[in-house]
């Protein structure tokens, strides 16, 4: 892994909330959050709720506080994802447990005939290479607690991306090469 240069660099931290664990089982994206990092500073944080084709399971509403009523007038993934793909362009994405988020995003990007995401970094994987963090679990909540990062609305995309952006900025120079 190369040293991460923050001079004149832009990253977009992404997080999604879904109706389940696997898009291949019919699970859908119900929220996308993004936090921009420019030259080592967090400059923008936003999110978009998405109306799924099926009802949001009660378990997911309990976890995310995203209800069917909240998304009933929101745009669908077919409306949101092309705009999101254009917005991120070729910028390096950052996510905590990126395999999960990228799997979902790429599944729906393929369905829409859009370019898949291949340029990304994972803060969960980065934590595995921080010697002072070895032996601790790699959940975002644990890492936030360890590094003194507040995540007021865990399991909501904009809050999780903001926390992940802060985590990335704290650990980027601590990753053992």
A 10 A CB-CB count for 3 gives 9
Full pLDDT tens readout for the chain, 177 residues:
344 555 559 999 999 999 999 999 999 999 999 999 999 999 999 999 999 999 999 999 999 999 999 999 999 999 999 999 999 999 999 999 999 999 999 999 999 999 999 999 999 999 999 988 988 999 999 999 999 999 989 999 999 999 999 999 999 999 875
Closest by Cα among 57, 50, 90 to 72: 50
Cα separations in angstroms, 159 against 83, 109, 147:
21, 24, 16
Buried b (16+ CB within 10 A) or exposed e, 53-64: eeebeeebbeeb
Domain ranges of the chain: 10-171
155 is catalytic: yes
For residue 134, the model assigns a pLDDT of: 85
Given the residues 51, 96, 155, 172, select the one marked as catalytic.
155
CATH 3.30.420.10 fits 10-171, yes or no: yes
Asked whether 126 and 168 are in contact (CB, 8 A), the reply is yes
Cα distance between residue 27 and residue 20, in whole Å: 5
Which of 92, 96, 159, 93 is closest to 124 using CA atoms?
Answer: 96
pTM above 0.85, yes or no: yes
Q: At 103, phi and psi to the nearest 5? A: -60, -50
To which residue do tokens 């991460």 refer? 4
């Amino acid at each position: 892994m190369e040293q991460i240069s923050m001079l004149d660099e832009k990253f977009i931290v992404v997080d999604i909330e879904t109706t389940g664990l696997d898009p291949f089982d019919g699970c859908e994206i119900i929220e996308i959050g993004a936090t921009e990092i420019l030259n080592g500073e967090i400059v923008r944080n936003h999110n978009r709720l998405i109306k799924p084709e099926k009802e949001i399971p009660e378990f997911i509403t309990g976890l995310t506080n995203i209800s069917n009523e909240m998304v009933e007038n929101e745009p669908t993934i077919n409306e949101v994802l092309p705009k999101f793909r254009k917005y991120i362009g070729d910028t390096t994405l950052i996510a905590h447990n990126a395999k999960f988020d990228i799997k979902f995003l790429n599944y729906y990007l393929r369905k829409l005939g859009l370019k898949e995401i291949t340029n990304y970094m994972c803060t969960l994987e980065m934590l595995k290479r921080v010697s002072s963090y070895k032996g601790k679990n790699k959940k975002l909540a644990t890492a936030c607690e360890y590094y003194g990062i507040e995540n007021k609305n865990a399991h909501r995309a904009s809050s999780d991306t903001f926390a992940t952006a802060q985590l990335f900025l704290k650990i980027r120079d601590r990753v053992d090469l």
